[in-house]
Structure 1
Amino acid sequence: MTKLLRFFSYHQPRRIRVIENTLKSRRTVATLFWARQYRILEWLGAYRSLTRQDYDQTINGLVNDGLLMIDDQLQAKLTEKGASQLKKEESNLYTPSFYDWYWLANTQRIMQRLFLAIQVVSEYSYGQRKYVPLAISYGEMLAVKQWFRQNFRQNIVNELYSDLHRLGSALENEDPRLATDLFNVMIGHNYSGWTVNQASADLNIGLDDVQFLRHDEMLAISAYARNFPGPLQQLFLPLFNESPLNRSAQITFDLYVKGLSIEQIAQQRRLKQNTIKEHLLEAAVLIPNKLNWDALLPADKRVALGKFYQGDPTSWEFNEDKATFYEYRLYQIYQGITDGK
């Protein structure tokens, strides 16, 4: 799986677990921080089905092939051979169009609901009641069932067709491969949908990139459904996030914007102060432009920290004599942003 090479650098050592956790959307402040520093934050959740075993086997294979080198801290860099290989493959790598919406929804859940809903409506349009439904999680199956019950007495077939037609036109204008794959991978009456191998061959992209393309499709559908009323919006609306922050962090952020201190927020929410600080660190990483940095980390504190912590923020080492870890991480994030990283 040489496509993983795109997440590594020849000049910058990168933590292999951060890359794994980013692709699987394991959201810790550390993962979010380093993903931002590595400029791969928008890939959050792009490969949720990736297993630790497959990931480690791939990394070991890249090392054995001389494409990656790993130190004892589990940080990896491209070798000269790896950098050369990546350069050769760059023009053939799938370039996402909608990854800026990485925060909007869990694309696995979107995909499950979408494909079952399409199958149900397709079979319904043919009057078919006896068929094997797509195997998805029980919760998503109930959600689709409820959605269909609410809509089947209306002209659901035509309404869903119109919704998908508008979506398809938008995808076609952005990248025809998105529309082609989406409408060929769907399961319907007497149609089983493309396999990964078929998609790879017909779209002329690597097997590994099919996963990234389909994640892109689901983000595109989510962005569309978020903005346009219709059957798709009804189906997906409960899955959409309000912002890049998780729900608890968003509540904390809203209270912070109102002027409450960390202590006051912790007391009001009955949470530990460290939890509130984690929420604010998440906000600093994900929505830095919405923060009042002079209040969060006053200028005099930044000046004091700047006398000790200099150079590339990714190379710093925490010193508990100079600041709390919360202040250290805030300053590290701040410098990473102001340096254009």
Structure 2
Amino acid sequence: MLFSGIVLKCCLHINDERSTAAIFHLLKGKRSIQTVQDTHIYHLDHLYGIHQQLTKQTFDRKIKELHHQDLLIPKSSTKNIYKPTDKAKKWIENNKGNLPMNRFQGLKYYESGKIFYQRLLLLIQTLTNSKMHHLNFIPVIDNRSVENWVREAYKQIKPDENKVLSKLHEELHSLLVHFSDKEASLFVNKLTGFKTYGMSIQQLAMMYKMDAIDIQLLLTSMIHYILNVITKEHARYPWMAFIANHIKDNHFMTKSAQKTYHLLNKEKFSIEQIAKRRRLKENTICDHIVEIALNDNHFPIEYYVEKNTFEEILNAIKQTNSLKLKHIKEKVNDDISYFQIRLTLAQFKTRLNR
């Protein structure tokens, strides 16, 4: 149910202006300018990268299922574009209590959410086994950096491990109160302790009679919510905050765009100069600039888009009620480029009223 709701929500936001492939890339967290820009302009940043292991086969199967249920209808047989039906809107409204989409913080916790959860699982396993003087166990997490972090953390905690384990239990219990009994139980069933291994996603799916993909998404939503709470109330959850500490947040700018950013910001080079310097096409540098604008709220858009051009683009968006570049381009002067339209959408994404 949760996966169905997420796909329908994406289709509603995108409003048949992108193919289903764009939604797949968004949910999987593809690191491309187009996907990240879609994430922002369609206000789907909370759902970005929430299922990084999602396969195209699974996603396509869900699209077909929603189509057969009359929740999606194809707009074009060639471009794989689907539009939600009125039945879909009613379905979302009727099931909103079972669709905790407001918990997701996909763009914000794209990398840190997974690392935090792995640290939590391995630290609890380590402390519960250490308490019973049993250190010859198989780690539930196979991640060298996480294992190294837990190893260093354990050295600090070892003198007071019983006290820390008790505090961790208290903090986790306090956090799980925010969820339903079923959700809290599901989260606990995934934990590994002394001589007890956490259940797999498939085992949880069988136990709770849910789809495996919904179990995975539900856990991700809970992790994001927990991270959000402990970030705001770190004094109340010192040990959970300790686990989350020093996790490098993901910066959504490719290395190539960062090089362009340096030449723009430090060297004050023009697009043409950067293209020659880096032996790249000018269109590629323009792509980088759009990517930079998506990551820099103070980006000086006026260098590339004059005020009257900006206003004309905004008016075109209002007239077409669309964020599709082709539709906007048809409503503006011929001398306004696609680059200027993309840059306006990127820099002023939060100020656009559809």
After TM superposition, the score normalised by the length of structure 1 is: 0.76
Q: 1:33 aligns with which of 37, 55, 58?
A: 37
Matching of residues 46-125 of structure 1 within 5 Å: 46-70=50-74, 71=76, 72-97=78-103, 99=105, 102-103=108-109, 105-125=111-131
SS of corresponding position for 2:148: helix
CA RMSD in angstroms, aligned pairs only: 4.2
Verify the 8 A CA contact 2:191 2:197 in the aligned structure 1: yes
Name the counterpart of 2:307.
299
Larger displacement relative to structure 2 (21-30 or 83-92): 83-92
Quote how far apart the aligned CAs of 1:118 are.
Answer: 1.7
Inter-partner Cα distance in structure 1 for 2:341 and 2:299 = 17
Structure 2 CA distance for partners of 1:330 and 1:97, relative to 1, 3 Å: same
Structure 2 CA distance for partners of 1:308 and 1:11, relative to 1, 3 Å: closer
Inter-partner Cα distance in structure 2 for 1:323 and 1:44 = 30
SS of corresponding position for 2:73: strand
Inter-partner Cα distance in structure 1 for 2:124 and 2:184 = 15
Inter-partner Cα distance in structure 1 for 2:254 and 2:241 = 21
Structure 2 CA distance for partners of 1:219 and 1:278, relative to 1, 3 Å: farther
Q: Percent identity?
A: 18
Larger displacement relative to structure 2 (47-56 or 200-209): 200-209
Matching of residues 236-315 of structure 1 within 5 Å: 236-241=244-249, 260-261=268-269, 263=271, 266=274, 272=280, 277-285=286-294, 288=297, 290-303=298-311, 305=313, 310-315=319-324
Verify the 8 A CA contact 2:28 2:49 in the aligned structure 1: yes
Quote how far apart the aligned CAs of 1:252 are.
Answer: 6.3
Name the counterpart of 2:215.
210
SS of corresponding position for 1:158: helix
AA at the equivalent of 1:6: K
Structure 2 CA distance for partners of 1:43 and 1:11, relative to 1, 3 Å: closer
Name the counterpart of 1:24.
28
Q: 1:328 aligns with which of 322, 338, 341?
A: 341
Quote how far apart the aligned CAs of 1:86 are.
Answer: 3.1
Quote how far apart the aligned CAs of 1:295 are.
Answer: 3.9
Quote how far apart the aligned CAs of 1:140 are.
Answer: 4.0
Quote how far apart the aligned CAs of 1:265 are.
Answer: 9.9
Verify the 8 A CA contact 1:186 1:194 in the aligned structure 2: yes
Name the counterpart of 2:12.
9
Structure 2 CA distance for partners of 1:286 and 1:161, relative to 1, 3 Å: farther
Verify the 8 A CA contact 2:129 2:135 in the aligned structure 1: yes
Structure 2 CA distance for partners of 1:41 and 1:265, relative to 1, 3 Å: farther
Name the counterpart of 1:126.
132
Say whether 1:185 aligns with 2:172.
Answer: no
Quote how far apart the aligned CAs of 1:30 are.
Answer: 0.9
Quote how far apart the aligned CAs of 1:26 are.
Answer: 0.8
Quote how far apart the aligned CAs of 1:89 are.
Answer: 2.3
Structure 2 CA distance for partners of 1:252 and 1:159, relative to 1, 3 Å: farther
Inter-partner Cα distance in structure 1 for 2:168 and 2:254 = 29
Verify the 8 A CA contact 2:26 2:49 in the aligned structure 1: yes
Structure 2 CA distance for partners of 1:121 and 1:225, relative to 1, 3 Å: farther
Verify the 8 A CA contact 2:304 2:340 in the aligned structure 1: no
Inter-partner Cα distance in structure 2 for 1:15 and 1:94 = 25
Q: Deviations over 1:93-122 (max 9, x none)?
A: 224335276346343333333212221221
Larger displacement relative to structure 2 (158-167 or 88-97): 158-167
Quote how far apart the aligned CAs of 1:31 are.
Answer: 1.0
SS of corresponding position for 2:100: coil
Inter-partner Cα distance in structure 1 for 2:187 and 2:273 = 45
Matching of residues 146-157 of structure 1 within 5 Å: 146-148=151-153, 150-151=155-156, 153-157=158-162
Verify the 8 A CA contact 1:253 1:283 in the aligned structure 2: yes
Inter-partner Cα distance in structure 2 for 1:48 and 1:259 = 37
Inter-partner Cα distance in structure 2 for 1:90 and 1:162 = 34
- In structure 2, stretches of 5+ residues that fail to align are none
SS of corresponding position for 1:9: helix
AA at the equivalent of 1:322: D
Verify the 8 A CA contact 2:27 2:47 in the aligned structure 1: yes
